[in-house]
Amino acid sequence: MDNCDILQKKLGYFFKDESLLQLALTHSSYANEHGLEHNERLEFLGDAVLELCISRILFYGFPRASEGHLTKLRAGLVSEPSLARVARYLDLGGYISLGKGEESQGGRARDSVLSDTLEAILGAVYLDSGYDEAHKCIKKIFKDFIPESVELLPKYKDYKSRLQEATQSLFKARPVYALLESTGPEHEKLYRVQVELPNGTKVDATASSVKKAEQKAAGEAIKELSRSS
């Protein structure tokens, strides 16, 4: 059993077209070095598939939970740290094709690389077999990360929430987000967002949606605050 078979067994899904899985595992750093296509378009698709499937799982799994509670839980489950935890559970880092620079900088252990690759794989499953198979795959790999009852639902705090709490505590003011630019064709746009902290520090990040770019920028801003404290 080769590495791809091992990974597919962990996913609970075997690809009809394994080239989709190989593409999902191809980071842009590796693609740029070898003149190949990378996984960012699949990541864009997988992000949407994941949110819909997790919404359905929570909707039927917690009939007594409020809309607000479900929204917070979904946000936690599809956040970068949460997806990275699922990716580590799958040992996904060992399967990713990375460029030399990204490899030397510890890319295999980085939350952003792991979470983006997981989303790309889910996008690939959707393309390979459609929504129902993608839903089965997501239900399987997230099974151990979803509580059994409403009372056990964790109160997740994403990067934006954590950053706002930190700036309120330190500066008595909130961070401000701004969309700096969007680039690329409509079907694969990239968005660059900047967050400005009350002390004047500015951090920007780029992602396949404004929401994800804001979260990434907030995560980097938290690191900046930690380094300066």
Pick the closest to residue 190 from 204, 177, 208 (CA basis): 208
Q: Are residues 102 and 47 in the same domain?
A: yes
pLDDT value at residue 46: 96
- Range of 47's domain? 3-152
Arithmetic mean of pLDDT, 192-212: 91
Which position among 119, 128, 158, 204 bears the catalytic label? 119
Q: How confident is the model at residue 229 (pLDDT cuts 50, 70, 90)?
A: low
pLDDT per residue as tens digits for the range 119-167: 999 999 999 999 999 999 999 999 988 876 655 555 556 788 889 989 9
Beta-carbon contacts of 136 under 8 Å, excluding residues fewer than 6 positions away, are 12, 13
Q: Are residues 117 and 187 in the same domain?
A: no
Of 96, 128, 152, the domain-final residue: 152
pTM: 0.74
Average pLDDT, the chain: 90
Residue 61 sits in a domain whose CATH number is 1.10.1520.10
2 as an active site residue: the answer is no
The arrangement of strands across the sheet holding 190-196 comes to 176-183, 190-196, 202-207
Q: Are residues 111 and 223 in the same domain?
A: no
Q: How confident is the model at residue 182 (pLDDT cuts 50, 70, 90)?
A: very high
pLDDT per residue as tens digits for the range 109-119: 988 899 999 99
47 as an active site residue: the answer is yes
Query: Residue 136, Cβ neighbours under 10 Å: how many?
Result: 16
Residue 224 sits in a domain whose CATH number is 3.30.160.20
Buried b (16+ CB within 10 A) or exposed e, 149-164: eeeebeebbbbbeebe
Q: Are residues 78 and 143 in the same domain?
A: yes
pLDDT value at residue 1: 38
Beta-carbon contacts of 35 under 8 Å, excluding residues fewer than 6 positions away, are none
For the chain, the domain total comes to 2
Of 152, 181, 215, the domain-final residue: 152
Of 120, 135, 152, the domain-final residue: 152
Which position among 47, 116, 158, 204 bears the catalytic label? 47
Name the amino acid, one letter, at 127. L
pLDDT above 70 for 206: yes
pLDDT value at residue 25: 97
